[in-house]
């Protein structure tokens, strides 16, 4: 991993359209500004990981019995 030292207000360019700016730092955290094109989604790593894991859990090798599921759902409504 490339590690660079930056001061508040200084930035890093990645490729053509991504700019990472250090906005503010204190003893325990740092605020980072991110400019990126719309095609590049930017998320906190832990949020992304949660969705990624749930998507993997949700993927099914074949179509489940949607008729049975739909029936269960309708019963709930009664």
Partner 1 sequence: MEQSPEALSYSTEDVISFPAGIPGFEGAREFVIFTRPEHEPFHWMRSVSESAAQFVLINPLQFRPDYDPVVPSSEIRDLDVRDPKELLLYTIVTVNDDMSKSTANLAGPLFVNIRTRVGKQLLVDDPRWSTSERILP
Q: Is 72 in the site for partner 1 (CB under 8 A)?
A: yes
24 vs 9: CA distance, rounded Å: 8
55 vs 43: CA distance, rounded Å: 16
32 vs 6: CA distance, rounded Å: 11
Is the CB of 2 or the CB of 62 nearer to partner 1? 62
73 vs 45: CA distance, rounded Å: 34
Task: Give the per-residue contact string, 15-54, with partner 1 (x = CB under 8 A; - = no).
Answer: -----------------------xxxx-xx--xx-xxxxx
Q: Is 70 in the site for partner 1 (CB under 8 A)?
A: yes
Shortest Å, Cβ 33 to partner 1: 14
């Amino acid at each position: 991993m490339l590690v660079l030292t930056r001061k508040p207000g200084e930035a890093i360019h990645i490729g053509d359209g991504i700019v990472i700016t250090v906005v503010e730092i204190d003893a325990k955290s740092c605020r980072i500004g991110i400019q990126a094109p719309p095609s590049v989604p930017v998320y906190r790593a832990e949020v992304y990981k949660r969705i990624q894991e749930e998507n993997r859990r949700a993927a099914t090798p074949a179509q489940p019995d949607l008729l049975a599921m739909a029936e269960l759902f309708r019963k709930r409504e009664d």
